[in-house]
Amino acid sequence: MPEFFRTESGKKLVTFIPGDGIGAEVTGAARRIIEATGAAIAWEDREAGASVFKKGLPSGVPQDTIDSIKKTKVALKGPLETPIGFGEKSANVTLRKLFETYANIRPVRTLPGVPTPFANKNIDLVVVRENVEDLYAGIEYMQTPGVAEALKLISRKGCEKIVRLGFEFARSEGRTKVHCATKSNIMKMTEGTLKRTFEAVAKEYPEIEAQHIIVDNCAHQLVRFPEWFEVIIMTNMNGDILSDLTSGLIGGLGFAPSANLGTDYAIFEAVHGSAPKYAGKNVINPTAVIFAAVMMLRRLGEFEAAGAIENSIIYTLEQGKFRTRDIVGDAGSCSTTAYTDAIIANLGKKPSKAFVRDYKPIQMPDVPTAPDFVKVQERKVAGADVYVEWTGTVDALGQALEAAASGSPFKLHMVSSRGTKLYPGGSAITDTVDAFTGRFVKGDGSDTSDAELLDLLARVGAKARWAHVEKLNVFDGVLGYTKAQGED
Ligand code: NAP
């Protein structure tokens, strides 16, 4: 755990970013409640989001906000609007990446007094989502005018960090079961890396039951038997989608908190956005960000205040006198302020069912920082996939690429399109697009030099416009590329 910055009076300093839309109302509620507990917390107010974009800063995050988080190592933030269509990056994503908060923790549990179709289930689970890699890095290209590509980059090191954190998180909360949900049956390398890492790391946590589950089945089981799950580790996009599903199970976005954790830095927020139509109306449910503040207090070691707030929220919901409009509709609902006041008034009270766990400080994983996390003894480039644009027939492309390779050390192994082999031999696919891949392999099985590859590209380029190249790596005898559907 990092050393937290303390003020002269010994309070731990937190960077406070109210955020956009309903942000000020929900973060303000959380701040008032924390102050009412008497926890030794002080605030450093900073800006990010819409107000900053409006001043012309395209990142949406000013330097003094970055400097503040660097100092405090902890931020409580409201939702930040992402401007649509101006080319600006999301200020949220900028913050997560800047501070390498590689884990996104999203807990949900059945709450008393919150009617949902699942209210009779004892849901108490946490999605541990990888937060910086995967398709959400947003690395995209147009290969041809009509064919788009996104790169799903998953590192063994990133998987090691998120899996270890998932187990450490389970341990800190006294959990007994951890799932890892992946699509490794289809994406054997990217999603498969998370699965293999999970299976390897699980052996170091023998007291915790570890189970892999295919992510689509996980979605299905989450709706049928949500009470089975305790901690679910997932890659970024799967975790984003399924954590919205889990929020829905327990009453919606008004109750779904989120912690972005890194080795040194942590940013706490609600899962929901700025809900602009409710801004300034004093009707929004602040519970999600208050639960996020509870997680923040635990990160700061303020376990007593965290437990008191958690108990008070549940007690208040259980009593049912003060509930916001998202729970009970407009009639009979209370304002954000009245709900917050009730939680403050109920500090020290306990709900009928024990709620607060015996939390221990989380041990952040100590994963080596060397970039070459996986080392190999032997490596070879067996050839290359060259992606080309082509509007003629597949047979004509196959013959053109064979002619291009003639006289070079390569031979054309096949032509595929969107992952399915089309040449030689054809396929059942009749409707093709204008993006194809020629797979070239070294005829004698030796390593490919860059000079040979560049010569191949020049040869291919004389026949068809090429867009993208991938080396066919073989690491320690294991193929570092997949076969196309129908390829031998
Ligand atoms: P949103 O702000 O989460 O709101 C969607 C709907 O969810 C609301 O209309 C409301 O539903 C419900 N809701 C959200 N927060 C609630 C709360 N505290 N209590 C009760 N109900 C709540 O999603 P959005 O409209 O798609 O996004 C708005 C802006 O927020 C966008 O600019 C987006 O980029 C940004 N955003 C930021 C973050 C972040 O900062 N982490 C996350 C997500 C989105 P009803 O209409 O049914 O009442």
**319 touches 312 (CB < 8 A):** no
**78 touches 18 (CB < 8 A):** yes
- Residues composing the chain: 488
Band of residue 232 on the pLDDT scale cut at 50, 70, 90: very high
Percentage of the chain surpassing pLDDT 70?
98
Q: At which residue do the structure tokens 């409201």 appear?
A: 78
What are the Cα distances from residue 232, in Å, to 108, 226, 289, 339, 344? 12, 11, 21, 31, 32
Atom of ligand 1 nearest to the CA of 90: 34
Mean pLDDT of 136-153: 93
Query: pLDDT at residue 64 above 80?
Result: yes
CA of 270 to the centre of ligand 1 (A): 10
CA of 274 to the centre of ligand 1 (A): 5
Atom of ligand 1 nearest to the CA of 80: 40
CA of 339 to the centre of ligand 1 (A): 19
Atom of ligand 1 nearest to the CA of 270: 41
**319 touches 327 (CB < 8 A):** no
Q: At which residue do the structure tokens 């399924």 appear?
A: 242
CA of 410 to the centre of ligand 1 (A): 54
Four-residue CA torsion sign, 215, 216, 219, 221: negative
Spatial distance between the Cα atoms of 380 and 259, rounded to a whole number of angstroms = 42
**416 touches 487 (CB < 8 A):** yes
Residue 75 corresponds to which amino acid? A
CA of 25 to the centre of ligand 1 (A): 13
Task: Output 425 or 267, whichever has higher pLDDT.
Answer: 267
Residue having the nearest C-alpha atom to atom 17 of ligand 1:
254
Instruction: Give the model's pLDDT for residue 94.
Output: 86
CA of 354 to the centre of ligand 1 (A): 31
- Average pLDDT taken over every residue of the chain: 94
* Strand arrangement of the beta sheet that strand 177-182 belongs to: 41-45, 12-17, 74-77, 266-270, 257-261, 103-109, 124-130, 231-234, 177-182, 209-214
Q: Which of 89, 129, 253, 269 to mutate to test the pocket of ligand 1 (most atoms within 8 A of CB)?
A: 253
Atom of ligand 1 nearest to the CA of 81: 32
Burial of 34 by CB count in 10 Å (0-12 exposed, 13-18 middle, 19+ buried)? buried
Atom of ligand 1 nearest to the CA of 269: 41
Q: What are the percentages of helix, strand and coil residues in the chain, rounded to 5?
A: 35, 25, 40
Residue having the nearest C-alpha atom to atom 41 of ligand 1:
79
Task: Output 356 or 477, whichever has higher pLDDT.
Answer: 477
- Mind listing the pLDDT tens digit for each residue in 443-473? 999 999 999 999 999 999 999 999 999 999 9
Percentage of the chain surpassing pLDDT 90?
84
Query: pLDDT at residue 87 above 60?
Result: no
Residue having the nearest C-alpha atom to atom 21 of ligand 1:
254
- What DSSP line would sit under 122-177, residue for residue? --EEEEEEE-SSGGGG--EEEEETTEEEE-----HHHHHHHHHHHHHHHHHTT--E
CA of 275 to the centre of ligand 1 (A): 4
CA of 278 to the centre of ligand 1 (A): 9
Residue 305: closest CA among 343, 355, 348: 348
Q: Which of 27, 250, 272 to mutate to test the pocket of ligand 1 (most atoms within 8 A of CB)?
A: 272
CA of 326 to the centre of ligand 1 (A): 12
Residue having the nearest C-alpha atom to atom 23 of ligand 1:
273
Residue 77: closest CA among 277, 270, 361: 270
CA of 124 to the centre of ligand 1 (A): 23
- Mind listing the pLDDT tens digit for each residue in 211-222? 999 999 999 999
Burial of 424 by CB count in 10 Å (0-12 exposed, 13-18 middle, 19+ buried)? middle
Atom of ligand 1 nearest to the CA of 83: 32
Instruction: Give the model's pLDDT for residue 485.
Output: 79
Burial of 328 by CB count in 10 Å (0-12 exposed, 13-18 middle, 19+ buried)? middle
CA of 374 to the centre of ligand 1 (A): 40
Q: Which of 274, 333, 335, 337 to mutate to test the pocket of ligand 1 (most atoms within 8 A of CB)?
A: 274
Spatial distance between the Cα atoms of 449 and 427, rounded to a whole number of angstroms = 32
Band of residue 157 on the pLDDT scale cut at 50, 70, 90: very high
- Which residues lie below 8 Å from residue 337, measured CB to CB, with a gap of 6+? 29, 282
Measuring from each residue's beta carbon to the nearest atom of ligand 1, which residues come in under 6 Å?
A: 26, 79-82, 92, 253-254, 269, 272-275, 284-285, 288, 326
Region of 73 on the Ramachandran plot (φ > 0 left; ψ -120 to 50 alpha; else beta): left
Beta strand 74-77 with 266-270 is parallel
Residue 169: closest CA among 97, 254, 259, 253: 259
Band of residue 96 on the pLDDT scale cut at 50, 70, 90: confident
Residue having the nearest C-alpha atom to atom 6 of ligand 1:
275
CA of 286 to the centre of ligand 1 (A): 12
**260 touches 165 (CB < 8 A):** no
**Of the listed ranges 251-265, 339-353, 415-429, 451-465, the one predicted with least confidence:** 415-429
Residue 150 corresponds to which amino acid? A
Give per-residue burial for 291-301: e unless 16+ CB within 10 Å, then b: bbbbbbbbbbe
Query: pLDDT at residue 429 above 80?
Result: no
CA of 22 to the centre of ligand 1 (A): 9
Beta strand 231-234 with 124-130 is parallel
Atom of ligand 1 nearest to the CA of 325: 20
